[in-house]
Structure 1
Amino acid sequence: MSDIEQYKQEICDIGDRLYKRGFAAANDGNITFRISENEVLCTPTMVTKGFMKPADIALIDMEGNQLSGARKRSSEALLHLEIMKARPDVKSVVHCHPPHATAFAVAREAIPACVLPEVEVFLGNVPIAKYATPGGKEFAETILPFVAKSNVMVLANHGTVSYGESVERAYWWTEILDAYCRILILAKQVGRVEFLSEQHGWELLDLKKRFGFDDPRHEPSYAGADIFADDVFRDAWAESGVNVGAFGTPAWSRAATEWHRSRAAPLDEEALIERIAERVAEKLREKLR
């Protein structure tokens, strides 16, 4: 078996895994793998990921033009190519709609950090990219503000995209993220989410560095900073329409507290006084009747 045929088979194997785990219903999802500087293998459109054959996989260039393959390439391939252009280390991209992570995408709820050790080490902060109609250049470019700082992201009202040096590694990040989102949802049903301490959070970041995983919070500018959920991406929340609050925030998080204050509606003192006066006057009229 040639290398290209092996890569095609790996794409089909991961497609089968996506389908069986319910991450890609019907014809949902797409997978790519870069085989050279200007050639990328791409899953076809309108084919169930669990039933793909190596012969179904298309070959495209880095601009999205189809070079070979009997089936038409996925319409969302441009998103994958933007990631590969921005991250030369990335060889594979996986996009799908895992139910629990996609629930966060639909609610546009920030995914909290400092909860599970494995998530801090393998994922870190998870951004939520703003919504755009899938398939076009605008949609593809929604990931650009975040692609250098994370290996997985949530696409608002859509799904997830993850990427890495192999098809399996790209898929891993999605599986970890959806499992984490499921745990968060279950924990919320049981009671509440308890956060790790700030010290434990920094210890996990040190562990992440020792394992060789990059994290923006390893940069000198974050030394001594608050590391609560999405510190790296908080500035983008407003544009993406991100909400926060379903899972609370750790008591030690100064940044979270300040962010909540900045989002609070300013108090209209004059209107408040008028409402109080009207209420008092109404009570007095009731007594005089």
Structure 2
Amino acid sequence: MNLNSAMVDAEQIKQEICDIGDRLYKRGFAAANDGNISYRIGPNEVLCTPTMICKGFMKPSDIATVDLEGNQLAGERKRSSEVLLHLEILKARPDVKSVVHCHPPHATAFAVAREAIPSCVLPEVDVFLGNVPIARYETPGGKEFAETVLPFTAQTNVMILASHGVVSYGESVERAYWLTEILDAYCRILILAKQVGGVEFLSEQQGWELLALKKRFGIDDPRHAASYQGSDLFADDIFREAWAASGVNGGAFGIPAWSRAAAEWTKRSGGPFDEEALVERIAERVAEKLRDKLK
């Protein structure tokens, strides 16, 4: 590839970043100056959106260029401080070209509530997203914030950032964006289903069937690993062990009776999981604490 063609490619990617930025803004995924987008154009060169600019009004000339350590190489506007998060993902995943971060309302509601995204509810979501982790909270902009994604980067292409938003990544700007769109649509459906009456989980067998379908489509999933094959329990959330560190809750939608969490509950309590009994027990403890304070 000669220099001129490389420059043309970079200009084309800048336009794609602006187009997706416009889509983010019009979908309400990035209010005002929210969100940022990046794309790896070379071994040590990354295009990124600048700080303090509305993603719906960007021009190709606004896009900055940084190296993988965050040093700005080109661009009239200063790069976003949150590009450090993108760079951690790009360094950890050589196959990834683009990273999109924004605040889609329904998925961000789960981030603010720190509510786990349930699996085995919608077939398309299990196939195209799989389990979605929630990274722990750190003040945005610094190295500590950027590194919150590292425990999950290799196992997924989309995650929720606790009390913040969503980050997704893939082989193009458009495909990275699609994952966020799918996640927000799913979260909206979950919220609506909860208002209608509740969520019905697929069976364990149906979960394994979707995982097999995903493998036939050539879509990676941690549950394709040998350690999950032949398991008696479908891994309904492979990130469950990380929930405590992220302050994640998992009670709004219940859990499938066949899930690993339900089995763990049965083992600890000596009986099957009873959500109503758990709520009653919590209410009793709260009431007891209040009575103690009033004495």
Q: Runs of 4 or more off by more than 3 Å in structure 1?
A: 254-257, 259-264
How far is 1:147 from its partner? 0.4
How far is 1:262 from its partner? 6.1
Partner of 1:200: 206
How far is 1:255 from its partner? 3.2
The answer to whether structure 1 residue 4 and structure 2 residue 15 are counterparts is no
Partner of 1:144: 150
Partner of 2:133: 127
The 1:252/1:6 distance shift into structure 2, 3 A limit, reads same
Q: SS of the residue aligned with 1:160?
A: strand
Q: Distance in 1 between matches of 2:183 and 2:229?
A: 26
Q: Distance in 1 between matches of 2:265 and 2:14?
A: 46
Q: State the aligned residue count.
A: 266
Q: 2:181 aligns with which of 158, 175, 181?
A: 175
Q: Distance in 2 between matches of 1:58 and 1:205?
A: 40
Q: SS of the residue aligned with 1:55?
A: helix
Partner of 1:101: 107
Q: Which runs of 5+ in 1 are unaligned?
A: 276-289
Q: Which runs of 5+ in 2 are unaligned?
A: 1-6, 270-277, 289-295
**Paired letter, 2:14:** K
Q: Distance in 1 between matches of 2:265 and 2:112?
A: 22
Q: Which protein is bigger by CA-based radius of gyration?
A: 1
How far is 1:259 from its partner? 5.3
Partner of 2:292: none
The answer to whether structure 1 residue 25 and structure 2 residue 38 are counterparts is no
1:1-289 matches, within 5 Å, as 2-225=8-231, 226-230=233-237, 232-258=238-264
Q: Distance in 1 between matches of 2:265 and 2:209?
A: 24
- Deviations, residues 239-289 of structure 1 (Å, cap 9, x unaligned): 00000110011112243341587698xx9xxxx9xx9xxxxxxxxxxxxxx
Q: Distance in 1 between matches of 2:119 and 2:199?
A: 11
The 1:66/1:223 distance shift into structure 2, 3 A limit, reads same
**Paired letter, 1:104:** F
How far is 1:44 from its partner? 0.6
**Paired letter, 1:20:** K
Q: Distance in 1 between matches of 2:266 and 2:102?
A: 32
The 1:256/1:82 distance shift into structure 2, 3 A limit, reads farther
> Does the 8 Å contact 1:39/1:62 carry over to 2?
yes
Q: Distance in 1 between matches of 2:73 and 2:268?
A: 51
**Paired letter, 1:39:** E
Q: Distance in 2 between matches of 1:112 and 1:228?
A: 12
> Does the 8 Å contact 2:108/2:166 carry over to 1?
yes
Q: Distance in 2 between matches of 1:155 and 1:262?
A: 30
> Does the 8 Å contact 1:228/1:250 carry over to 2?
no
Q: Distance in 2 between matches of 1:12 and 1:253?
A: 43
Q: Distance in 2 between matches of 1:137 and 1:202?
A: 38
> Does the 8 Å contact 1:41/1:59 carry over to 2?
yes
